[in-house]
Amino acid sequence: MMKSKIETANNLAQVHFMNEPKLKHVRLLESIDESDPREPIKLLEVVEGTIERGIEPILFPADPARGIEYPVLIVEISPSEYENIQNNTSGLTVHGWSVGSELPA
């Protein structure tokens, strides 16, 4: 059975935490089209020591053969960029996104 977007997002967060010891937070990014299956799962990943380039999303195509039925978009930012985003969300709203719930390790 096809996993839901949120189940897939939770699984992705868990394996990303396993493969990146400097990953501190994974937050969902949400848009108004979330119910559309073509809308990617969007993860905001806060990684200590990452190069600071602002909001530079990177899109992974869906990979059903590996159990990932949805495209996945990742925005990797540093802890200090994360702090800035919490005070000023304009970098995200320009893409039509808001910060959603935190996904556990």
Partner 1 sequence: MPATDQDWAKAYATQALSDLDAREKLARSGAHKCHRLHFLQMAAEKVCKAYLTASNGHSNVRKSHAYVAKNLPLIARVVYSSVGNRMAAWEISQIKDLAHEIQLLAPACDDGDVRLDNSEYPWQDRVGNILVPSEYSFPNIDDSSQNRTIVKLIRLIRTASESYIR
DSSP state of 25: E
Closest to 30 (Cα-Cα) out of 13, 44, 47, 15: 44
Q: Per-residue string for binding with partner 1, 19-58, x by CB under 8 A?
A: xxx----------------------------xx-x--xxx
CB of 93 to partner 1, least distance (A): 16
CA angle 25, 68, 15 (to 5 degrees): 35
Rounded CA separation 52/21 (Å)? 18
CB of 11 to partner 1, least distance (A): 9
Binding residues (CB under 8 A) for partner 1: these are 12, 15-16, 18-21, 50-51, 53, 56-61, 63, 66, 68, 72-74, 76
